[in-house]
Amino acid sequence: MIEPVALPEVEFSIEDGIFIKQMSMVSTGTFVPQHSHAYAHSSMLASGSVRVWQNDELKGDFKAPIPINIPAGVKHTFMSLEPNTVVYCIHRIDRSGHVEIDEHAVEVSQHIIEEGILCLGQQQQR
């Protein structure tokens, strides 16, 4: 069974063929559901820190400020490791006029939730 998870607050902006999705994760343990795109793009971690999975494999933990490169066709998800984490997903849309999403899940896979909960538990013990 998939447990309900906290999702980020989202805002969008489009200027000069660039689409920017701002994801504000107010609470620790907020997830961005897994999704993939037809092309490579960058996600800019502007504040806070995240744990990142790609194709259901743990990629690592990242601390702002840092760009996180996402290869084309790779499913990816984020989990905030601290409150007030902000990630900007940045996409060119001049190819088609929109963000090309290959696959989008509205849920977070159970093993990613379990890894995330374990990670947060270890952080609290420090």
What is 9-125's CATH superfamily? Answer: Jelly Rolls (2.60.120.10)
Q: Order across the sheet with 101-104: list the strands.
A: 57-63, 49-54, 76-80, 31-37, 101-104
CA angle 52, 82, 86 (to 5 degrees): 70
Give the mean pLDDT of 29-45.
86
For residue range 61-84, list pLDDT tens digits in order.
Answer: 999 999 999 998 898 899 999 999
Lowest mean pLDDT across 5-14, 77-86, 94-103: 94-103
How far apart are the C-alpha atoms of 34 and 106, rounded to whole Å? 8
Domain edges within the chain: 9-125
